[in-house]
């Protein structure tokens, strides 16, 4: 029962570097999303996707890119990392069949930008 | 804009006590409300999901209620245990697919 898998779990970057956070799910969920969690700010939606080839912006999309070429994968790209992007990132997925259902989360990716 | 508020931000209780966590939301046009648990350094685990047409859901010692008209939900934990210590978050699903979170209540249960 893999569920939602995120890699890497920890990453340290220097300002201006680029990287990709990987997210994969094996539940055949159409909906996938990325959140960031910061102290005092709670969880905020960055980008989401309702299926392969379809993505949309959430509350805090600036500085992040996403793509969805397969149902299983939803990578999050930081093109030029900034210290303000130091955070814990969570990927989540759910089915879109029927009423909106339970959202399943990965274990998180902890990113530090120096 | 939907806002989700959780009060209190932190709560400490002795083992065995029954307790209630509160969640309020400003826009009643929701599809569902979900309660999550988050342990330190971990991801979120779904506890209970209440569809907008439902009034409550139960799982073991947990009971969640939803009053959509007043914009309120409560999570009732019976006979609390030290293992219940965690942060509890509520979130509402609105039109489209967005899930909007409260900032959570951090619960500490002492033995």
Q: pLDDT tens digits for B44-83?
A: 999 999 999 999 999 999 999 999 999 999 999 999 999 9
By CA distance, what is B52's nearest residue in A?
A: A99
The candidate with the shortest Cα–Cα distance to B102, out of B61, B72, B67, is: B72
Is omega for the bond preceding A8 within 30 degrees of 0, making it cis? Answer: yes
Position B18 scores a pLDDT of 97
3-class DSSP assignment, residue B82: helix
Position B95 scores a pLDDT of 73
**Mean pLDDT in order along chain A per 10 residues (114 residues):** 90 97 96 93 92 93 96 96 97 84 91 97
How many beta carbons lie within 10 A of that of residue A9, not counting itself? 11
Position A1 scores a pLDDT of 64
CA distances from A87 to A39, A76, B81 (A): 9, 13, 31
The band of B41, judged by pLDDT with boundaries at 50, 70 and 90, is confident
Which residues of chain A make contact with B25, given a CB cutoff of 8 A?
Answer: none
Cα–Cα distance measured from residue A42 to residue A16, given in angstroms and rounded to the nearest whole number: 26
Chain B from 45 to 84: CB within 8 A of any A CB: 45-46, 49, 51
The mean of the pLDDT values for chain B is 94
Which residues of chain B make contact with A35, given a CB cutoff of 8 A?
Answer: 101
pLDDT in tens, B9-27: 999 999 999 999 999 999 9
3-class DSSP assignment, residue A103: coil
Instruction: Identify residues of A whose CB sits under 8 angstroms from chain B CBs.
Output: 31, 33, 35, 40-45, 48, 50, 58, 90, 92, 96, 99-108
Closest partner residue to B32 (CB to CB) among A90, A100, A105 is A100
The answer to whether the Cβ–Cβ distance between A103 and B99 falls below 8 Å is yes
The candidate with the shortest Cα–Cα distance to A58, out of B2, B90, B35, B48, is: B2
Position A107 scores a pLDDT of 93
CA distances from B108 to A22, A77, B37, B80, B88 (A): 33, 36, 13, 10, 11
Which residues of chain B make contact with A103, given a CB cutoff of 8 A?
Answer: 34, 46, 91, 99
Q: What is the mean pLDDT of residues B97-103?
A: 85
The answer to whether the Cβ–Cβ distance between A90 and B44 falls below 8 Å is yes
pLDDT beyond 70 at B96: no
Q: Does B42 contact chain A (CB < 8 Å)?
A: yes
CA A15 to chain B, closest CA, distance in angstroms equals 24
Q: What contacts B15, CB < 8 A, 6 or more positions away?
A: B80, B81, B82, B109, B110, B111
Position A16 scores a pLDDT of 97
């Amino acid at each position: 029962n893999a569920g939602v898998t995120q890699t890497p779990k920890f990453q340290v970057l220097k300002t201006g570097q680029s990287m990709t956070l990987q997210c994969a799910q094996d539940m055949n969920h159409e909906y996938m999303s990325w959140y960031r969690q910061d102290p005092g700010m709670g969880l905020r939606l960055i980008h989401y996707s309702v299926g392969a080839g379809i993505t949309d912006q959430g509350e805090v999309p600036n500085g992040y890119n996403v793509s969805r070429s397969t149902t299983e994968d939803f990578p999050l790209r930081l093109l030029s990392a900034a210290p303000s992007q130091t955070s814990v990132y969570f990927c989540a997925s759910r089915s879109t069949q029927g009423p909106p259902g339970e959202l399943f989360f990965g274990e998180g990716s902890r990113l530090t930008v120096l | 804009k939907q806002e989700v508020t959780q009060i209190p931000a932190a709560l400490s209780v002795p083992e065995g006590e029954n307790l209630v966590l509160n969640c309020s939301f400003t826009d009643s046009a929701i599809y569902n409300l979900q309660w999550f648990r988050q342990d330190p350094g971990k991801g979120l685990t779904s506890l209970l999901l209440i569809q907008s047409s439902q009034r409550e859901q139960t799982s073991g010692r947990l009971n969640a209620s939803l009053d959509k008209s007043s914009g309120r939900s409560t999570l009732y934990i019976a006979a609390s245990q030290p293992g219940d210590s965690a942060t509890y978050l509520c979130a509402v699903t609105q039109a489209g697919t967005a899930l909007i979170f409260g900032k959570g209540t951090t619960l500490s249960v002492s033995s």
